[in-house]
Chain A
Amino acid sequence: MNRLNVTLSQGSWGGSALRRFSRSTAAMLLCVVVVGYVALGIASSGSFFEGPSVRVFLQYLATPILIGLAQMVALCVGQLNLAVGALGGFTACLMGVLMADHGVPAGVTVIVGLLTATAIGLATGVAIVGTQINGFIVTLATMTILLGAQYRLTGTRTVDGYSRTLRDFGTAAPLNIPLVFVTALVAAALLAAFMYRTVAGRRLLAAGGNPLAARLSGISTDRQIVAAHTLSGLLIGVAAVTATASLPGVNRSVGGDWLLPSFAAPIIGGVALTGGSIAVLGTVLAAFVTRLIDAARAQFSLDPSWVNLLIGLVVLGTVAGGRLHQTRLEKSATTDGAVLPQTGGAQ
């Protein structure tokens, strides 16, 4: 608080905002992204800066950004969404089967896919609020159901004979910037505007930050939980569209490896698991970082397991480092009472 007052009294708003940004997680991540990208470019003797490399890099960045944002929306009301990968995979397979086997045009399919994902998100939210069962368990159950449904839709085959239009959308890249990546950025911008500028968005954050206070001030936390899961479902639907558009085909393994990255992006980006905070820019940048690790792996042709190991260590380092930083701040500030260590954790 003191520091904030000092910066405010010093004067210009722009200066203080810039200073605050320079201390934030997003700024640190931005540095990591820039340094990592340049280092990778130098290591590949410049070929990483060329058009095709940039295009491929950005094309496969769209899905991680969107699933990270979908998880972030669930986290902001203090919920977890374990069904991210299963719902995304199911929606992608549904769209693939609709187009390839039933000849539904691409436009209609995309709308059906988005609506289905949103409806399943809504149903999950209603189930959580209606039964009062922990959201962790409900999404675990929906994950199981959706995995089964996805397998039932496609079986062991790979659906790849689908619409040219969607494929063109997936590979189109004016100025080497893929349209799917632009879609992800637009979704992120819309989400940021919704969260930071609208009443409904602020309600979500209020319900996540302090459910009791939110309820006392007339906000239905139940409704916010349903809204968050619905929005999460919609974002997963968009992720499924980008995945279907850019992948060569969809099968039952689509979405299988989405769950862990979906948590990694918001956590590295600085979102608290307890709810009430979001970081759209941080999440997008964190998705960049994980993609960079993947690109570096491909560049040096290492075992894919290195990616998991490194991402795990990065997340562990981020949380431990952030916590140590916080304790140092607490120690330097004068506190009146003894502060109890926070040990309860599942929620």
Chain B
Amino acid sequence: MTTSISPPDTVPEEKAATHHMPFWVNQRLGLLALVIALSVLFGVLRPAFLDQQLVLFPLLRDIATLTVVALAQMVALSVGHMNLAVGRMAAFGAMFAGLGYDRLGVPMQVGLLMCLAAGAAIGAVTGWLIARTGVSSFVVTLAMDFALLGLVSLMYSSLTDDAAFTTHPAGIDALRSYSLADICAGPICGSPAVPQIAQFTVLAMLALGFLYGCTRIGRELLLTGANPAAAELSGIPTGRRVLLAHTLSGLLAALAGFMAAAGTGTFRASIGDDFMLPSFLGAVLGGTLLTGGVVSVLGTLLGTALVGVIRKGLDLLGVGLESLNIYLGCVLLLALSADRIRTVVSYRKVVRST
């Protein structure tokens, strides 16, 4: 599912080169092996880790939400930009959904649409500012983060008494607590570990995989990220692609905000407070380049899953909350250094063998 701007089947030399690369260079395979190995390790050390309802279900629900957050970051990274306001865009979108449920009494689906529309709109404003002024996306999204942080808290405190919308529309509780075990085809039921809310994640991944893998616009987004000047010269409207990427990023962030709110049951301003670090972790561990031009949808899921498994496993092993961040930071540095070493070593091998 990794998509780079030069498809191997059109460039014979590159295809030959990829054949020489040993299989263990494949980052996603390594990640998958690591996730499985760690899950087994934690399962052996603490059998409670494999408890489907109490551990795996919330773990997978968190992974599902954070994967969407990481995808939102990935889309911005694909054009070589960043979105530091993912968390706040999530809060902004979720606020509109909560407002719809609380004040207008809309059904769940309409609220979700309002949430997505608000996210896409704020993303479009951000993208327009970046494309129009040419200012670095870092600054614009950082300032947007500030502005939304203030705006969302102000709106919550002026619209509600206890700074949260608590009205539950029909169906949202089901979304929170139902798993595949609640869907039965005859006598066969799904696993109670897989939450139903993961349907949004699967949909988002399929849509993005199709966008980047099969469409012209997806290619143009990647080319814009890899080399903006070259993209502009080859007739790609880079300004519009930047706008599109940020709109999509805002939309996905809002979706994640809705999922987080549905998961906790209340719509409040603190949704998305802790989204920024996981968004970068998931995307970057999965093989998406910060410089743009390379994305990996599946890798983003695996990267997020790795972080989630480590966090949960360490938690069960009795590592206190205070030390968890230390380990996570070290894991991030080690994983990226290992990746770097692997690339360098395999590159040397390829060079020697040719």
Residues of chain A whose beta carbon lies under 8 Å from any beta carbon of chain B: 80, 127, 131-134, 136-138, 140-149, 151-152, 155, 260, 263-264, 267, 273-274, 303, 305-313, 315-316, 319-320, 322-324, 340-347
Contacts and interface: CB of A to CB of B under 8 A. Distances in A.
B291 A347 contact: yes
Contacts of B332: 137, 140-141, 144
Contacts of A320: 129, 133, 135
Contact of B325 (A136, A147, A305, A312): A147
B290 A345 contact: no
A128 to B, nearest CB: 11
Could you say which of A136, A273, A303, A305 has the most chain B C-beta atoms within 10 Å of its C-beta?
A: A305
Given A127-B333, A316-B143, A343-B224, A144 B325 contact: yes
A305 B81 CA distance: 27
B322 interface: yes
B81 A345 contact: yes
Task: For the complex of A and B, list the 10 residue pairs with the smallest distance between their C-beta atoms, beginning with the closest.
Answer: A309-B150, A312-B147, A312-B146, A148-B325, A145-B329, A308-B150, A144-B329, A148-B326, A315-B143, A305-B153
A334 B332 CA distance: 49
Interface string B288-325: 00111000000000000000000000000000111111
Contact of A306 (B150, B238, B320): B150
B232 A341 contact: yes
A138 B138 contact: no
B80 interface: yes
Contact of A345 (B138, B232, B329): B138
Contacts of B80: 343-346
- Dominant secondary structure of chain B at its interface with chain A: helix
B146 A315 contact: yes
A151 B322 CA distance: 5
Contacts of B129: 316, 320
Given A343-B79, A344-B80, 6 more contacts: A145-B329, A155-B322, A308-B150, A315-B139, A342-B228, A345-B81
B239 interface: yes
Contact of B329 (A80, A148, A309): A148
Contacts of A311: 143, 146, 150
Most-contacted residue by chain B among A143, A148, A307, A311 (CB, 10 A): A148
How large, as a class, is the contact surface on chain B? 35 or more
Contact of A303 (B134, B157, B228, B320): B157
B280 A140 contact: yes
B145 interface: yes
Interface of B: 77, 79-82, 129-131, 133-140, 142-151, 153-154, 157, 224-225, 228-229, 232-233, 238-239, 242, 277, 280, 284, 290-292, 320-330, 332-333, 336-337, 340
Q: Which of A136, A145, A311, A344 has the most CB of B within 10 A?
A: A344
Contacts of A274: 136
A324 B18 CA distance: 46
Contacts of B139: 263, 267, 273, 315, 319
A260 B142 contact: yes
17 contacts: A131-B337, A140-B277, A141-B330, A147-B325, A148-B329, A151-B322, A260-B142, A263-B142, A303-B153, A305-B151, A308-B146, A312-B147, A323-B133, A343-B134, A344-B225, A346-B81, A346-B136
